[in-house]
Amino acid sequence: MNRARRAAGAAVMMIICLLWAGGCSSRRPQTVSVMSPDFFGISEEIAVQLSHNDRQSAGSGQRLILTTMVNIDDFSKTSRFGRTLTEALATRLFQHGYGVAEIRKAAEVMIKDNSGELMLTRDLAMLSNQHSVEAVVVGTYSLTPNSVILNVKLLDATSEDVISVAGLEIKRSNAINDLLNSTGGLADGELSAYER
């Protein structure tokens, strides 16, 4: 009986040690594939990555501006997918304690053509002062036949340095294809004046 108790106790201790050791490993990989995408799950993963990878350690509490996610092949184009993802990400970042500034009504937001990056304004520092923000979230999506690849950056609003990054590859679904379908095909539409 004593032997059986010792064996059972050793087994329990072994399981506890294994569970504890597993908890010490890195909880989140740098890039994750999501097999059954939903926008709040996708945006939650991006928000967690942005928080986890934050180099300034300011983290939650920072006031942010989010720009619309754009097609990596043409920074002047987005889709309902890009707009919906941006809205879901704003929700999750707010829930993580970030201050999210609403700037859609601001005339300063625009796209700078041929620059290779999404540009918020002629003077990013001026925009950050006007809206009292410390950081700007920018992002792109890239389409493959079976997935959408997302890359999101958190930029310091005054220096434009990259503070944090997030990356995700999601499986295309009927819902995602419908959101990408802006003009009758799987094409992106121009940014509206509302988004600029």
Q: Max CA-CA distance within the chain? A: 79
Return the pLDDT at 113: 44
The Cα 28–Cα 190 span in angstroms is 35
The structure tokens listed for 58 are: 């300011």
According to DSSP, residue 55 is labeled S
Return the pLDDT at 168: 93
Cα 41 to chain centroid, rounded: 11
Could you give phi then psi for residue 118, rounded to 5 degrees? -75, 125
CA distances from 38 to 28, 81, 89, 165, 172 (A): 18, 12, 12, 21, 11
More confident residue, 113 or 83: 83
**Model pTM score:** 0.68
CA quadruple 181, 83, 170, 19: dihedral, nearest 10: -160
The Cα 154–Cα 80 span in angstroms is 22
Q: Say whether pLDDT at 77 is over 80.
A: yes
Q: Of 151, 143, 152, 140, whose CA–CA distance to 172 is shortest?
A: 143
Q: Say whether pLDDT at 93 is over 70.
A: yes
User: Tens digit of pLDDT for each residue in 54-69?
Assistant: 876 655 678 888 888 9
The residue whose two tokens read 């990356």 is 167
Q: Say whether pLDDT at 4 is over 70.
A: no
Q: Which domains can be identified in the chain, with CATH numbers?
A: 31-190 (3.40.50.10610)
Residues in the chain: 196
